[in-house]
């Protein structure tokens, strides 16, 4: 039987490798197509066209376009906020676009600040006299929040509007560790630093519970206020709908309480939109997001540029992982920053940050390069959903910092976490022996209990890291270290709270940050163009690596199961952590 499983695994591995090679070869064959597709002719919409925005998948700040998406029916990696904003702005000014049709699907991984950006753009389009109509078979809460800005919100008669309120569930591994003899060696600074609590407690600490309750409540209040204003109902009505479970029990209540306008089937909604757009054809004529973004605008002729640098994802070193992670910020961004510093056409940089943090070491390297960049030109930070812990570290030195009211930021704290297997060794009656030349030669040995002087060394290392973090924040915000420490300790703040305590300069979005960068660079409107940078690799190479990584991940998940894969993935991320960490918990709830 053992030999059978070895052969089966070897066959599966061979299939994965072969399939990976097919992906690589196929990608190379299609490489020539990429140039053709990237230079495709401009699209000109017909009269009375409707822009159809399908809300499916994750919303990323700056998702690189997949040149194969049109061949295979869409970008499976998600949708780009940058593309959505550009498309809505084109629809607002293009006379041939009569309105926007929001088809809500399984939209996820979009936090309140990102949704607020899209809602704001749609509201501006409505002010130009164009319509926005929304439909869904079932509304997720995030999709509903976005669609609530529409002139008309329709739902399938058999559907649901899952307006439930916010919640966040956390898994704790302390008991599991004790059962198998695994001890998590925790070293941290910050009474509110919740990232390590799943490994040292069996439930949330009161400090952590209070901070989560604080920002969850503030975000939900902002969401209900915005929905209420758009739907002409009260926040109390929305909370009643959620608290009484009407999202499951009564379709008519959704209409009676003003959550949606009418219950209609999709075909009826599309007939309604067709009449609004004054279309005479048999079927509703729409244009997709990708087509909207192929509408050519007048090319920039300015030599002056304001560069938008995207910093999105977990901050970590570049490692070859058997469990692939999506996106992230690593050493590649350092080269991008240096390139922007040396580009004489770039007069200012706006760094768009959407990160819960990660490696304190990489955060420090990014902070340093931002400081060097700032010597040459202004640097303004625009915070998206999250810019906390390491995400705040890389932001704190900016010339000016903007955040959305519901952005999660702060979490100024540091920790180190090291697994110790001495208990497991005892359970298995395993022993080890060591020969060493100095007292700390075997520091970190996971097979034996740690001595107090070893623990003291690591705690001192963490405290030094925290002191450096405080120093960077104090210098950047022009505050004393004592003042920073008073609002630090790992505490998470919303953007509105961060403005009050001095961690940011103003509330606003990406456009506000660009305007501030232009002002700092003494550039008037019309004197500059926008360029974009992310520090990412060439698309073709990145595409190949992602496809092979996705294949590997799918095989592992299909063999061991979804829940087991999740546990394995978290364990792998814990193993991958090296040095000090400045980050939020893995699964902190930032989305609706």
Q: Are residues 4 and 119 in the same domain?
A: no
Is 93 inside a domain boundary?
yes
Q: Are residues 288 and 397 in the same domain?
A: no
Please report the pLDDT score of residue 380 as a whole number.
98
Task: Give residue-wise pLDDT tens across range 453-496.
Answer: 999 999 999 999 999 999 999 999 999 999 999 999 999 999 99
pLDDT over threshold 80, residue 67: no
Is 590 inside a domain boundary?
no
Are the beta carbons of 14 and 266 closer than 8 angstroms? no
Q: Give me the sheet containing 414-420, strands edge to edge.
A: 183-189, 414-420, 581-583, 357-359
pLDDT over threshold 50, residue 261: yes
Please report the pLDDT score of residue 433 as a whole number.
92
Task: Indicate the pLDDT class of residue 563, thresholds 50, 70 and 90.
Answer: low
Task: Indicate the pLDDT class of residue 391, thresholds 50, 70 and 90.
Answer: very high
DSSP string, 130-156: -EEEEEESSB-HHHHHHHTTSSEEEE-
d(CA 231, CA 129): 18
Is 432 inside a domain boundary?
no
Nearest CA to 552 among 33, 7, 15? 15
Q: To the nearest whole number, what is the mean pLDDT of the chain?
A: 84
Please report the pLDDT score of residue 317 as a whole number.
85
| Average of per-residue pLDDT across 337-354 | 96
Please report the pLDDT score of residue 573 as a whole number.
52
Q: Are residues 67 and 34 in the same domain?
A: no
pLDDT over threshold 50, residue 588: no
Task: Give residue-wise pLDDT tens across range 191-246.
Answer: 888 888 899 999 999 999 999 999 999 999 999 999 999 999 999 999 999 999 99
The CA dihedral of 138, 141, 143, 144, to the nearest 10 degrees, is 80
| DSSP-derived secondary structure letter, 195 | G
Q: 555 is written with which tokens? A: 């095989």
Antiparallel, parallel or unpaired: β 492-494 and 408-410: antiparallel
Task: Indicate the pLDDT class of residue 64, thresholds 50, 70 and 90.
Answer: low
pLDDT over threshold 90, residue 566: no
Are the beta carbons of 462 and 580 closer than 8 angstroms? yes
pLDDT over threshold 80, residue 365: yes
Q: Are residues 2 and 92 in the same domain?
A: no
| DSSP-derived secondary structure letter, 42 | P
The CA dihedral of 473, 475, 481, 486, to the nearest 10 degrees, is -40
Higher pLDDT, 190 or 443: 443
Higher pLDDT, 536 or 396: 396
Q: Are residues 60 and 131 in the same domain?
A: yes
3-state secondary structure 298-334: CCCCCCCEEEEEEEECCECCCCCCCCCCCCCECCHHH
Please report the pLDDT score of residue 568 as a whole number.
52
> Residue 41, Cβ neighbours under 10 Å: how many?
7
Task: Indicate the pLDDT class of residue 377, thresholds 50, 70 and 90.
Answer: very high
Q: Are residues 28 and 53 in the same domain?
A: no
**Structural domain of 136:** 49-164+245-292
Q: Which residues are CB-contacts of 296 (< 8 A; sequence separation ≥ 6)? A: 42
Q: Which residues are CB-contacts of 493 (< 8 A; sequence separation ≥ 6)? A: 215, 408, 409, 410, 487, 501, 503
Please report the pLDDT score of residue 194 as a whole number.
83
Mean pLDDT lowest for which of 451-465, 505-519, 565-579? Answer: 565-579
Q: Are residues 378 and 496 in the same domain?
A: yes
Task: Indicate the pLDDT class of residue 396, thresholds 50, 70 and 90.
Answer: very high
Q: Are residues 155 and 281 in the same domain?
A: yes
d(CA 471, CA 477): 10
Nearest CA to 525 among 341, 302, 297, 295? 302
Please report the pLDDT score of residue 525 as a whole number.
84
Number of H helices, E strands in the chain: 23, 19
Q: In the chain, how many domains are there?
A: 3
Task: Indicate the pLDDT class of residue 293, thresholds 50, 70 and 90.
Answer: confident
Nearest CA to 581 among 325, 389, 392, 377? 389
Is 368 inside a domain boundary?
yes
Consecutive H or E run containing 424: helix 422-427
Is 561 inside a domain boundary?
no
Q: Are residues 524 and 412 in the same domain?
A: yes
Place of tokens 């890291």: 465
Is 14 inside a domain boundary?
yes
Higher pLDDT, 206 or 323: 206
Please report the pLDDT score of residue 560 as a whole number.
52
φ, ψ for residue 430, nearest 5 deg? -95, 145
| DSSP-derived secondary structure letter, 194 | G
Please report, rounded to a whole number, the percentage of residues in the chain having pLDDT higher than 90: 61
Q: Are residues 104 and 151 in the same domain?
A: yes
For 40, the 3-state DSSP assignment is: coil
**Beta-sheet strands, E only, within 27-96:** 49-60, 79-80
Is 128 inside a domain boundary?
yes
Please report the pLDDT score of residue 169 as a whole number.
86
| Average of per-residue pLDDT across 94-113 | 88
Is 555 inside a domain boundary?
no
Q: Are residues 7 and 110 in the same domain?
A: no
Please report the pLDDT score of residue 555 as a whole number.
54
Task: Give residue-wise pLDDT tens across range 414-462.
Answer: 988 889 999 999 999 999 999 999 999 999 899 999 999 999 999 999 9
Q: 357 is written with which tokens? A: 């943090």
| Average of per-residue pLDDT across 273-284 | 92
Please report the pLDDT score of residue 105 as a whole number.
84
Bridge partners, 348 (sequence order): 306
Please report the pLDDT score of residue 587 as a whole number.
46
The CA dihedral of 239, 243, 248, 253, to the nearest 10 degrees, is -50
Task: Give residue-wise pLDDT tens across range 15-43.
Answer: 544 555 555 455 445 444 444 444 556 77
Please report the pLDDT score of residue 72 as a whole number.
44
Are the beta carbons of 355 and 314 closer than 8 angstroms? yes
d(CA 394, CA 371): 10
Answer with the one of 230, 258, 292 that is the final residue of a domain. 292
Consecutive H or E run containing 493: strand 492-494
Higher pLDDT, 573 or 514: 514
d(CA 51, CA 76): 20
Task: Give residue-wise pLDDT tens across range 528-538.
Answer: 999 988 765 55
For 72, the 3-state DSSP assignment is: helix
Q: Are residues 454 and 534 in the same domain?
A: yes
CATH number at residue 534: 3.90.226.10
Please report, rounded to a whole number, the percentage of residues in the chain having pLDDT higher than 70: 78
| Average of per-residue pLDDT across 109-115 | 85
Are the beta carbons of 33 and 70 closer than 8 angstroms? no
Place of tokens 């270290």: 481
534, burial (CB in 10 Å: exposed 0-12, middle 13-18, buried 19+)? buried
φ, ψ for residue 274, nearest 5 deg? -60, -40
Please report the pLDDT score of residue 402 as a whole number.
98
């Amino acid at each position: 039987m053992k030999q059978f499983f070895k052969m089966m695994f070897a066959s599966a591995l061979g299939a994965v490798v072969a399939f990976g090679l097919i992906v690589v070869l196929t990608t190379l064959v299609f490489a020539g197509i990429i140039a053709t597709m990237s230079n495709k002719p401009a699209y000109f919409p017909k009269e009375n066209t409707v822009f159809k925005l399908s809300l499916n998948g994750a919303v990323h700040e700056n998702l690189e376009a997949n040149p194969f998406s049109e061949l295979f029916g869409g970008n499976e990696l998600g949708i780009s906020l940058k593309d959505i904003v550009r498309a809505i702005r084109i629809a607002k000014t293009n006379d041939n676009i009569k309105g926007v049709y929001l088809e809500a699907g399984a939209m996820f991984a979009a936090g309140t600040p990102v949704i607020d950006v899209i809602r704001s753009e749609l509201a501006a389009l409505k002010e130009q006299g164009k319509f926005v109509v929304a439909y869904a078979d079932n509304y997720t809460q995030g999709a509903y929040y976005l669609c609530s800005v529409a002139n008309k919100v329709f739902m399938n008669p058999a559907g649901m509007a899952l307006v439930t309120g916010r919640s966040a569930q956390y898994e704790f591994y302390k008991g599991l560790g004790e059962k198998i003899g695994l001890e998590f060696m925790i070293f941290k600074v910050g009474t509110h630093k919740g990232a390590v609590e799943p490994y040292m407690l069996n439930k949330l600490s009161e400090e952590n519970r209070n901070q989560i309750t604080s920002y969850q409540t503030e975000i939900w209040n902002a969401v209900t206020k915005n929905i209420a204003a758009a739907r002409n109902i009260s926040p109390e009505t929305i909370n009643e709908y959620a608290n009484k479970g009407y999202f499951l029990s009564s379709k008519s209540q959704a209409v009676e309480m003003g959550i949606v306008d009418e219950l209609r089937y999709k075909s009826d909604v599309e007939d309604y939109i067709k009449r609004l757009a004054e279309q005479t054809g048999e079927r509703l004529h729409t244009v997709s997001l990708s087509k909207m973004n192929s509408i050519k605008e007048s090319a920039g002729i300015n030599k002056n540029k304001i560069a938008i640098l995207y910093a999105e994802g977990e901050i970590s070193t570049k490692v070859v992982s058997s469990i692939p992670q999506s996106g992230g910020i690593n050493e590649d961004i350092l080269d991008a920053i240096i390139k922007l510093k040396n580009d004489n056409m770039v007069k200012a940089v706006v760094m768009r940050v959407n990160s819960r943090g990660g490696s304190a070491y990489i955060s420090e390297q990014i902070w340093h390069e931002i400081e060097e960049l700032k010597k040459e030109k202004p640097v303004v930070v625009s915070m998206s959903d999250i810019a906390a812990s390491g995400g705040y570290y890389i932001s704190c030195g900016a010339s000016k910092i903007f955040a959305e009211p519901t952005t999660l930021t702060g979490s100024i704290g540091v920790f180190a976490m090291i697994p110790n297997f001495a208990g497991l060794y005892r359970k298995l009656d395993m022993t080890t022996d060591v020969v060493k030349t100095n007292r700390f030669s075997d520091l970190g040995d996971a097979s034996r209990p740690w001595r107090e002087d070893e623990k003291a060394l690591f705690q001192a290392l963490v405290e030094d890291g925290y002191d450096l973090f405080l120093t960077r924040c104090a210098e950047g915000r022009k505050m004393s270290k004592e003042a920073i420490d008073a609002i630090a300790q790992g505490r998470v703040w919303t953007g509105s709270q961060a403005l009050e305590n001095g961690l940011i300069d103003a509330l606003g979005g990406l456009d506000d940050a660009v305007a501030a960068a232009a002002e700092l660079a003494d550039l008037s409107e019309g004197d500059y163009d926008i360029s974009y940078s992310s520090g990412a690799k060439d698309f073709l190479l990145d595409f190949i690596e992602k496809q092979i990584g996705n294949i590997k991940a799918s095989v592992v998940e299909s063999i061991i199961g979804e829940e087991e894969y999740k546990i394995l993935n978290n364990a792998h991320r814990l193993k991958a952590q090296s040095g000090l960490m400045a980050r939020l918990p893995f699964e902190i709830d930032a989305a609706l």
